[in-house]
């Protein structure tokens, strides 16, 4: 087991990692930018190192500074949390070269996942359905036209080495096909140094379902069930729940089994999430792998009783997976609401600033993952997450009712938040009936 873990992150996930390490008797190192010197988790770490600067490039994305902090504190492992360097192949290679463990998958897996098309081919060859489109690089306009005739419009042209929403062009019809082809290749070259692109069909009104995976280095892989992640704004999740109200038992088993199969095909280890799109006719397609801890992991913890972060650390240290799929039963229903410092009625524009008063809800079945407090300044340099409000109850109806009560008692004064928007979602008839998809908020924003 690791002796000392450096936490290469900030905010609520850094606090979550510190607490897990303390329970496991592992020493911790916190790093911070100039504006983050008063973050709560830094009070609990054993050592802390100032990175300097405020922008991500100057701090949490700066590989050299993170490495120096590891050398200075003699940390033998790094936990990247989510975002920042959590899926950066170069960072993991640098750690490996210096004998420092990375709490995440191997360099080999990250290399496979770096090229989205190559990963898609591996999954396809394993027998797991993938989103219709090309399985080879689209090199010419003629090739693009041929694929368009096979899968029909609309579809996306995506950079093979893409990420963060860059290098993607939506093609609605043949009128903008040529321009989209040229611009997608051009942006892919500029952003990623490689102009290779591929094509994927846009699946209208699809659900976004993800499956939590745990795997060790000895070939054992299990799943902890699925999460419903269809409610999104600007392609970012805003509310998740588990289990999904859309899946029946048969479809749930098929998707979860497919997730395990995909992980095994990639030779994946530690914790990860397999993401799928599910259509109204109950067809499902692998979309991508998130090779890290997910923001929304608490809802799976609430219904399974498994501490996913602790399992991740143990698996990264080389320990065999002790859990078996029949050791736990999903119980009840959990909902996670991302409380962001955003104005939901002005297109979710970020709203950094000072929190004048901060009071969180309490009670049975309520969990708050947050780094904020009264007097805390939400900086403009990072994401706008204030807290994850996670609510559990015996079934979905009761979980929704408890969520409403928790939102009503959640006080954040000083900045706009998404709390009023979450309340509107929880009162929406379609949401209550479980009838929604990835474009639901975008399409229904006026009615919500």
Alpha-carbon distance of 24 to 18, in angstroms, equals: 10
Give this prediction's pTM. 0.94
H helix or E strand, kind and range, residue 425: helix 419-427
Same domain for 252 and 369? Answer: yes
**Residue 292 DSSP SS3:** coil
Q: Which residues are catalytic?
A: 292
Q: What is the pLDDT of residues 374-419, one digit of tens each?
A: 999 999 999 999 999 999 999 999 999 999 999 999 999 999 999 9
Same domain for 226 and 358? Answer: yes
Please report, for the domain that includes residue 248, its CATH number.
Answer: 3.30.470.20
- Provide mean pLDDT across the span 34-39: 97
Please report, for the domain that includes residue 163, its CATH number.
Answer: 3.30.1490.20
Q: What is the pLDDT of residues 277-293, one digit of tens each?
A: 999 999 999 998 999 99
Max mean pLDDT range (29-38, 164-173, 340-349): 29-38
Same domain for 421 and 320? Answer: yes
Tokens standing for 320? 């065999």
How many structural domains compose the chain? 3
- Provide mean pLDDT across the span 72-87: 97
Same domain for 90 and 137? Answer: no
Query: Residue 189: CB partners within 8 Å, gap ≥ 6?
Result: 195
Please report, for the domain that includes residue 34, its CATH number.
Answer: 3.40.50.20
User: Does residue 237 belong to any structural domain of this protein?
Assistant: yes
Compute how many other C-beta atoms are within 10 angstroms of the C-beta atom of residue 285: 21
Higher pLDDT, 347 or 22: 22
Same domain for 91 and 218? Answer: no
CA 101 to chain centre: 22
Same domain for 137 and 97? Answer: no
Same domain for 402 and 334? Answer: yes
Q: Are 287 and 278 in contact (CB under 8 A)?
A: no
| Domain-terminating residue out of 147, 171, 201 | 201
Same domain for 246 and 352? Answer: yes
Name the percent of the chain lying above pLDDT 70.
98
User: Does residue 71 belong to any structural domain of this protein?
Assistant: yes
Q: Are 92 and 104 in contact (CB under 8 A)?
A: yes
Same domain for 86 and 194? Answer: no
User: Does residue 15 belong to any structural domain of this protein?
Assistant: yes
Omega of the bond leading into 60 within 30 degrees of 0 (cis): no
User: Does residue 115 belong to any structural domain of this protein?
Assistant: no
Same domain for 217 and 287? Answer: yes
| Domain-terminating residue out of 144, 178, 201 | 201
Same domain for 191 and 312? Answer: no
User: Does residue 116 belong to any structural domain of this protein?
Assistant: no
Instruction: Single out the residue of 326, 252, 321 nearest to residue 282, CA to CA.
Output: 252
Query: Which structural domain, as residue segments, surrounds residue 84?
Result: 4-103
């Amino acid at each position: 087991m690791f002796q000392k873990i450096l936490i290469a992150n900030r905010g609520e996930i850094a606090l979550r990692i510190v607490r897990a390490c303390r329970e496991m008797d592992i020493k911790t190192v916190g790093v911070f930018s100039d504006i983050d010197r008063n973050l709560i988790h830094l009070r609990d770490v054993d050592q802390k190192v100032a990175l300097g600067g405020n922008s991500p490039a100057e701090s949490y994305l700066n590989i050299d500074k993170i490495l120096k902090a590891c050398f200075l504190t003699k940390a033998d492992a790094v936990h990247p949390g989510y975002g920042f360097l959590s899926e950066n192949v170069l960072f993991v290679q640098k750690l490996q070269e210096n004998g420092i463990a990375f709490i995440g998958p191997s360099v080999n897996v990250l290399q496979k996942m770096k090229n989205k098309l190559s990963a898609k081919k591996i999954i396809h060859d394993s027998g797991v359905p993938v989103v219709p489109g090309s399985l080879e690089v689209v090199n010419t306009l003629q090739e693009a036209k041929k694929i368009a005739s096979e899968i029909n419009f609309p579809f996306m042209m995506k950079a093979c080495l893409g990420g963060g929403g860059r290098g993607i062009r939506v093609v609605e019809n043949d009128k903008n096909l040529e321009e989209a082809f040229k611009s997608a290749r051009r942006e892919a070259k500029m952003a990623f140094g490689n102009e290779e692109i591929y094509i994927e069909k846009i699946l209208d009104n699809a659900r976004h379902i993800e499956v939590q995976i745990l795997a060790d280095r000895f070939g054992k892989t299990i799943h902890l069930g699925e999460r419903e992640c269809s409610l999104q704004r600007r392609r970012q999740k805003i509310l998740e729940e588990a289990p999904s109200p859309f899946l029946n038992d048969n479809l749930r088993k098929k998707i979860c089994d497919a997730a395990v199969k995909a992980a095994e095909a990639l030779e994946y280890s530690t914790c990860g999430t397999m993401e799928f799109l599910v259509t109204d006719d109950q067809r499902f397609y692998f979309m991508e792998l998130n090779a890290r801890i997910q923001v929304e992991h608490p809802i799976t913890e609430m219904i399974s009783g498994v501490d996913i972060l602790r399992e991740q650390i143990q698996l990264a240290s080389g320990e065999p997976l002790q859990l078996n799929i029949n050791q736990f039963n999903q119980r009840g229903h959990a909902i996670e609401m991302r409380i962001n410092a955003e104005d939901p009625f002005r297109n979710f524009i970020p709203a950094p600033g000072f929190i004048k008063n901060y009071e969180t809800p309490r009670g049975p079945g309520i969990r708050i993952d947050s780094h904020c407090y009264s007097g805390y300044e939400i900086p403009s340099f990072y994401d706008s997450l204030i807290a994850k409000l996670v609510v559990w109850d015996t079934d979905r109806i009761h979980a929704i009712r408890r969520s409403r009560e928790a939102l009503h008692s959640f006080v954040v004064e000083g900045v706009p938040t998404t709390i009023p928007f979450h309340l509107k979602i929880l009162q929406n008839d379609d949401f209550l009936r479980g009838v929604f998809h990835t474009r639901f908020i975008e399409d229904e924003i006026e009615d919500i």
